[in-house]
Amino acid sequence: MNILHFSKHATLSLTGRVRGGSSLLLPLLLFVSCNSKPKAEYETTTVEKGDIATTVTATGTIEPVTKVEVGTQVSGIVSKIYVDYNSEVKAGQVIAELDRTNLLSTLESQRANLTSQESALEFQKANYNRYKILYDKGLISANDFEQARLSFVQAQQQVTTARQSVKRAETDLGYATITSPINGVVLSKDVEEGQTVAASFSTPTLFTIAQDLTDMRVIADIDEADIGEVKEGQRVSFTVDAFPADIFNGLVTQVRQQATTESNVVTYEVVISAPNADLKLKPGLTANVTIYTLEKNNVLTVSSKALRFSPKQELIAEDETIEDTDKPGQKLWVLQGKTFKAIPVKTGVSNGTVTEIVSGIQAGTEVLSEMVFGTPMEEDNTNQNKNPFMPGRPNNNRNQKSGQGAAKK
């Protein structure tokens, strides 16, 4: 029986005859080991100048740097509104007025009360002076004099209180005229003419004004696993869905210490500058943020997998050798003829894909990065004797039959 040469193990079937003319399929398992090694190929990469960057990604919201909510400290009916959405306003500009009827009435009442208290003070002052003269002459008792003096002091205090009430009423009347506290643009208008606003418990918001829409910022939520890498001054790029083809740039200006927990996810707010000279960025837009936590430009780099490559003696061909310095540390490998040579290098920063090479090798050097095995090297069985137990190809059988028929003819 002839043995076929296979790269791994081979399984053959044997058909034979037994007494009585019946057929029997006898499986014959032949395990033949192949002495030839698989053909190895090697991928290489080049040590070259490049940039290395590590980034943190997050989402955030576009906001104006300065935004003021304008309200009122007095209750009343909105009588006039002088601005609308997107109106540009100046500091001190009148933007709305409340009805003044009740406020004017209160002011007049307080002024009348002040006049009355001032008249009472004049009387108590004159009365005190008379009692003082009489007391100095011994014509009245000390108790009567002290009573007159006390009434005079109380009248003075009541006049002071009345004056404060008048000033407060004047201030409230001034609050009926609502002005813009800053130069800016009206983002929202929350009232209409004729609407009643109540300032009993809290100040109602009438308008929201952004100071400068050309100077915006992004408030980004950074995961707790990444916040340790984020520092002030780092470069940031971001995009918004409204302008997907545009890339906007800014800087980290603040890393806030207050944590926010939502659904057991802890995040920290990071403030990013967002210059907006062309006014494309609008308040409330969602920004897809990339923070560059590490950047090194024009440094010597190599693919990180080249630093993980190491040739194995049992996998290389018999005529190939390994030349290693046996020095600890990172190494790159080159193939010089039939020799694998290790080159010790000093590495720097890495982003996982590429690694900085500080020293040890020159730019342009081709280094090994991966070993790839090809198909096994099988022996050519063309000239060997064919196994009688293996069936032939269908085409060959047809050729044999056609040849035999021709011979019979």
Residue 376 has pLDDT above 90, yes or no: no
Residue 160, Cβ neighbours under 10 Å: how many?
13
DSSP output for 323-385: E----SS-EEEEEETTEEEEEE-EEEEE-SSEEEEEESS-TT-EEEEEEEEEEE-PPP-TTSP
Q: What is the percent of the chain with per-residue pLDDT over 70, rounded to a whole number?
A: 81
Q: Grade residue 39 by pLDDT with cuts at 50, 70 and 90.
A: low
Mean pLDDT of 86-93: 95
Q: Grade residue 36 by pLDDT with cuts at 50, 70 and 90.
A: low
pLDDT tens, residue by residue, 213-224: 999 999 999 999
* pLDDT-wise least confident of 99-103, 240-244, 263-267, 381-385: 381-385
- pLDDT at residue 325, rounded to an integer: 79
pLDDT tens, residue by residue, 115-148: 999 999 999 999 999 999 999 999 999 999 999 9
Q: Grade residue 317 by pLDDT with cuts at 50, 70 and 90.
A: confident
* Longest CA–CA separation in the chain, Å: 176
Mean pLDDT of 8-18: 35
Residue 264 has pLDDT above 70, yes or no: yes
Q: Grade residue 42 by pLDDT with cuts at 50, 70 and 90.
A: confident
Question: What topology does CATH give the domain 40-51+300-376?
Answer: 2.40.420
* pLDDT-wise least confident of 27-41, 122-136, 139-153, 261-275: 27-41
Residue 383 has pLDDT above 70, yes or no: no
Q: Grade residue 91 by pLDDT with cuts at 50, 70 and 90.
A: very high
Domain boundaries, the chain: 1-35, 40-51+300-376
* pLDDT-wise least confident of 70-74, 95-99, 310-314, 343-347: 310-314
- pLDDT at residue 13, rounded to an integer: 34
Using the Cα atoms of residue 132, residue 134, residue 139 and residue 140 in order, give the sign of their dihedral: negative
pLDDT tens, residue by residue, 203-214: 889 999 999 999
Average pLDDT, rounded, for the chain: 84
- pLDDT at residue 404, rounded to an integer: 43
Q: Compute the distance between CA of residue 390 and CA of residue 11 in angstroms, rounded to an integer.
A: 11
- pLDDT at residue 235, rounded to an integer: 96
- pLDDT at residue 313, rounded to an integer: 80
Which one is predicted more confidently, 304 or 12?
304
- pLDDT at residue 250, rounded to an integer: 97
Task: Name the β-bridge partners of 395.
Answer: none
- pLDDT at residue 204, rounded to an integer: 87
Pairing verdict, β 76-81 and 366-376: unpaired
3-class DSSP assignment, residue 302: strand
- pLDDT at residue 202, rounded to an integer: 78
- pLDDT at residue 268, rounded to an integer: 97
pLDDT tens, residue by residue, 134-183: 999 999 999 999 999 999 999 999 999 999 999 999 999 999 999 999 99
**Tokens describing residue 120:** 């009472």
- pLDDT at residue 156, rounded to an integer: 96
Mean pLDDT of 312-329: 83
Q: Grade residue 188 by pLDDT with cuts at 50, 70 and 90.
A: very high
Burial of 286 (0-12, 13-18, 19+ CB in 10 A): middle
Q: Compute the distance between CA of residue 230 and CA of residue 322 in angstroms, rounded to an integer.
A: 44
